């Protein structure tokens, strides 16, 4: 593969099949066995590694990249980030040992502490969507989000809430956590979307797809989302609203999760 100062992700993934993303069906999978499809050398000991399947969630959909390691017989790669392009996930990090070859078997292992925190933060984000929609009288579109460390937020396309409204948002979120509702993940075809997604932001600008993955907090909202979530709202622990700041076209709601 090409070696250069700047490696282009399109070159890394070009011509490869879409990566099987194990977390889509099982967010709790911490480890998997995979096959190496391509290795791309970057500067020094930096490498891009593409596999047939992965447990690593790449940076996308407001969820930060997982970290962890990929270990083979003669090498290990400390994964600093995972990126996605054209449905293919590339793992980027520092290698020690010999470069693996296409066809080699490897084990992917997540930094689980970080991932589990991200799962709690992402579910907390959907809980806040529900709380904000209750306070504003309907679903509010989002402009962006970061459901992960070091600082979690959701950017909403609405006017800045008052202190009183922020207090209500946090109270409603806490109620949803203490109700310990099951977080349901299911798959629907586009024709079923209208009847199965509800109280969800951004439905008016959903990209076309043959199948949608819905994440539902029963009775609160059902949102098209490809991220990783905890199985019950109680696992979030607690949601703390840290504040709201004005943004162009809306406001940023900063939050974090706490242990009960």
Smallest distance from the beta carbon of 19 to Zn ion, in angstroms?
19
d(Cα 93, Cα 86) in Å, to the nearest integer? 20
Using the contact rule CB under 5 A, the part of the chain among 3-11, 43-51, 106-114, 225-233 near Zn ion is 225-233
Burial of 211 (0-12, 13-18, 19+ CB in 10 A): exposed
User: Residues 64, 72, 224, 227: which binds Zn ion (CB under 5 A)?
Assistant: 227
* Residue 82 or 215 having the CB closest to Zn ion: 215
Nearer Cβ to Zn ion, position 47 or 126? Answer: 126
The DSSP bridge partners found for residue 251 are: 156, 246
Instruction: Name residues contacting Zn ion, limited to 147-166 (CB under 5 A).
Output: none
Residue nearest to Zn ion (CB): 225
Least separation, in Å, of the C-beta of 198 and Zn ion?
A: 15
Q: Residues in contact with Zn ion, total (CB under 5 A)?
A: 2
Question: Cα(187)–Cα(109) distance, rounded to whole angstroms?
Answer: 26
Interface stretch with Zn ion, choices 49-57, 73-81, 221-229, 240-248 (CB under 5 A): 221-229
From 16-24, 49-57, 192-200, 218-226, span contacting Zn ion (CB under 5 A): 218-226
132: contact with Zn ion by CB under 5 A: no
Q: Which of 124, 225, 241, 257 binds Zn ion (CB under 5 A)?
A: 225
Choice between 34 and 142, CB closer to Zn ion: 142
Going residue by residue from 63 to 102, which x/- string records binding to Zn ion, judged by CB under 5 A? ----------------------------------------
Is 100 or 125 the residue whose CB approaches Zn ion more closely?
125
In whole angstroms, the minimum distance from the beta carbon of 199 to Zn ion comes to 13
* Nearest to Zn ion of 193, 225 (CB atom): 225
Give the count of alpha carbons within 13 A of 168, CB side only: 13
Tokens describing residue 240: 């703390």
Half-sphere exposure of 80 (CA within 13 A, CB side): 8
Binding site for Zn ion (CB under 5 A): 225, 227
């Amino acid at each position: 593969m090409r070696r250069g100062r700047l490696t282009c992700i399109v070159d890394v993934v070009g011509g490869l099949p879409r990566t099987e993303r194990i977390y889509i069906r099982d967010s709790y999978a911490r480890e998997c066995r995979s096959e190496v499809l391509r290795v791309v050398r970057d500067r020094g000991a930096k490498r891009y590694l593409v596999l047939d399947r992965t447990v690593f969630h790449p940076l996308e959909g407001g969820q930060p990249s997982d970290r962890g390691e990929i270990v083979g017989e003669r090498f290990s790669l400390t994964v600093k980030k995972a990126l996605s392009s054209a449905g293919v996930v590339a793992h980027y990090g520092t290698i020690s040992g010999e470069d693996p070859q296409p066809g080699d078997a490897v084990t992917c292992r997540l930094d689980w502490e970080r991932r589990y925190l991200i799962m709690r933060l992402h579910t907390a984000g959907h809980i806040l969507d529900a709380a904000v929609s209750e306070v504003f009288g309907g679903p509010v579109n989002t402009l962006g989000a970061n459901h992960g460390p070091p600082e979690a937020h959701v950017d909403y396309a609405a006017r800045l809430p008052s202190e009183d409204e922020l207090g209500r948002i946090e109270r409603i979120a806490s109620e949803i956590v203490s109700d310990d509702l099951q977080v349901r993940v299911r798959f629907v075809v586009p024709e079923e979307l209208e009847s199965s997604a509800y109280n969800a932001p951004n439905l008016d600008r959903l990209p076309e797809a043959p199948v949608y993955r819905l994440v539902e907090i029963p009775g609160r909202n059902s949102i098209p989302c490809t991220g990783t979530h905890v199985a019950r709202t109680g696992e979030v622990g607690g949601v703390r609203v840290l504040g709201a700041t004005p943004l162009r076209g809306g406001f940023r709601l900063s939050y974090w999760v706490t242990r009960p």
